[in-house]
Amino acid sequence: MNDVPTLAAQGATIPKLGFGTWQITGEDCVDAVKHALATGYRHIDTAQAYENEPEVGEAIEQSDVPREEIFLTTKIWMANMAAGDLERSARRSVEKLKVDRVDLLLLHWPNPDHPLEEMIAALNAVRAEGLTRHIGVSNYTVDLLDQAVAISDAPLVTNQVEYHPFIDQGPVLDAVRRHGMALTAYSPIAQGGVNKSDVIADIAKVHGKSAIQVSLRWLVQQDDVVAIPRSGKPEHIESNFDVFDFELTDEEMARIAALGSDDGRLIDPSWAPDWDRAA
């Protein structure tokens, strides 16, 4: 398999392709993460809300890959974002993951029940305590991101958001670039929806790749973008990783980008913020 290129953002070195673990639990999670690491992934993404941190930690412990070679991300859930609660929950996450610290700790969603200053200060406190090397946010709009960056003492490394060929994330991407951050793309293949696109299918045929591989390549070929596909199937874990032996042309990149709109969003829970609209 090919080595994964990395992205430098605010002092962090992040593998451009990671392995997501949303909705993978129990022994299935242990097996999937172990297979991902054996395949070549060195970036593993989890969260308190996924209820699989112990399994992710077990997989890392059982893997032959040294801990220092793995970029490990977890996220603070909304119920744990008050000052004091956030720090305690971060310690629990580190314990569940069986590590001394994580590499990146994110606020999973904006939470209007707590002042942004309070949440960002607590996130900084966790970093100062040594429980994480880097900090960031997830599902933040441009306005919230600008506020968080201005408040935070330590640099914010990423904003993790839904991003795939059918959603135009231009405003957020512009904002993270302005702040020297990365955009981490979750649901990068639109939960399999990219298989239904004739445009992507045509491009995939040219390169002898699948629509999913082309979509992942489209993401990781963009500056400042990281993608974190997830799958519990070994063959899909491997094929998702096999995207570094071809390159899309500028025309192909533009054709895929043109598929994006404000109507392509798949993840929009009741607690979501007022999303940015494409220009």
pLDDT tens per residue, range 260-269: 998 999 999 9
pLDDT at 184: 98
pLDDT at 278: 85
- Tell me if 87 sits within 8 A of 129, measured CB to CB: yes
The single-letter code of the amino acid at 228 is: I
pLDDT tens per residue, range 126-163: 999 999 999 999 999 999 999 999 999 999 999 999 99
Question: Which tokens hold the place of 145?
Answer: 């991101």
pLDDT at 2: 54
- Between the two ends of the chain, the Cα-to-Cα distance in Å is 39
Q: Report which secondary-structure segment, H or E, holds 159.
A: strand 156-162
Residue 202 CA to residue 275 CA, distance in Å, equals 31
CA max distance for the chain: 54
Task: Tell me whether residue 192 is exposed, middle or buried, using C-beta atoms within 10 angstroms of its C-beta: 0 to 12, 13 to 18, 19 or more.
Answer: exposed
Residue 190: beta bridge partners?
none
pLDDT at 101: 98
Q: Which residue among 41, 50, 163, 186 is the active-site one?
A: 50
Domain boundaries, the chain: 6-192+219-248
At the top level of CATH, the class of 6-192+219-248 is alpha beta
Per the annotation, the verdict on 163 as an active-site residue is no
Residue with tokens 């992934």: 41
Q: Any binding-site annotation on 108?
A: yes
Residue 205 CA to residue 31 CA, distance in Å, equals 32
Mean pLDDT for each 10-residue chunk of the chain (279 residues)? 85 98 97 98 98 98 97 98 97 98 98 97 98 98 98 98 98 98 98 97 98 98 98 96 97 98 95 92
